[in-house]
Structure 1
């Protein structure tokens, strides 16, 4: 029997805004976008990873109560959630390409500890590190 992680979710303030960011600016593709009347399930995939999905979920009902949802949304907006990591072959080239697409970076590419990394946030405040592993 095969087991593994299929979906990891991030909280977003607006699923349409997040979907546009992840597809148009980062180059992900839509995997699932369904609404059952109570909850919208939206996932995207990196074009080179067919078995892993990133869920774009709005905090609050029906998963959490309204107060918890508001508290989670505030934490995301402040950048308090753990950083996500995007592996790239060439950090500087990816930085340049993403910047032309309108991604706002919090950190330009820096070389350190055998890597080159840059930082950015999605429209909801989720922090990302983009990392190029260098051969030493």
Structure 2
């Protein structure tokens, strides 16, 4: 049996700000942009990984959700508690400098971890934690 990741989802509260970060700063390519019932899903991916997609989705992609549920999800997103995504990079320090220069919110500067990687961390415009790992 061979299992691979094909798609992951990241909740965002402003797709245009998220696109400016994921497309323009990180260099991911837009593969799809779909609107449905007042919501929007944008699929992106790294050119070097055509088989893996990241979908930027509304925090609560359910048109039947209650206002209380929508508020709870918005609060969790604002606190950065919904998702974390790890990206591999061949140069952690250069990646860090590029994202920081573009105004990325720094959570952790590059550091050598005791488990054998060098990594750094940022928040995306919606508050999600992103880690960039050099193996």
TM-score of the aligned structures, taking structure 1 as reference length: 0.85
Question: Is the partner of 1:89 in helix, strand or coil?
Answer: coil
Cross-structure match for 2:9: 9
Alignment of 1:34-45 (within 5 A): 34-45=34-45
Cross-structure match for 1:96: 97
- In 1: Cα distance, 2:3 partner to 2:120 partner: 32
Contact 2:11 2:82 in 1 (8 A): no
Aligned-CA RMSD value: 2.0
Pairwise CA distance, 1:72? 1.4
- In 2: Cα distance, 1:12 partner to 1:106 partner: 18
Pairwise CA distance, 1:59? 2.2
- For structure 1, the residue ranges without an aligned partner over 5 or more in a row are none
- 1:69-113 CA-to-partner distances (Å, cap 9, x unmatched) read 221121121121242101111101111122222222111001112
List, as ranges, runs of 4+ consecutive aligned residues in structure 1 with deviation greater than 6 Å.
none
Cross-structure match for 1:122: 124
Cross-structure match for 1:25: 25
- In 2: Cα distance, 1:28 partner to 1:75 partner: 25
Aligned residues: 132
- For structure 2, the residue ranges without an aligned partner over 5 or more in a row are none
TM-score of the aligned structures, taking structure 2 as reference length: 0.86
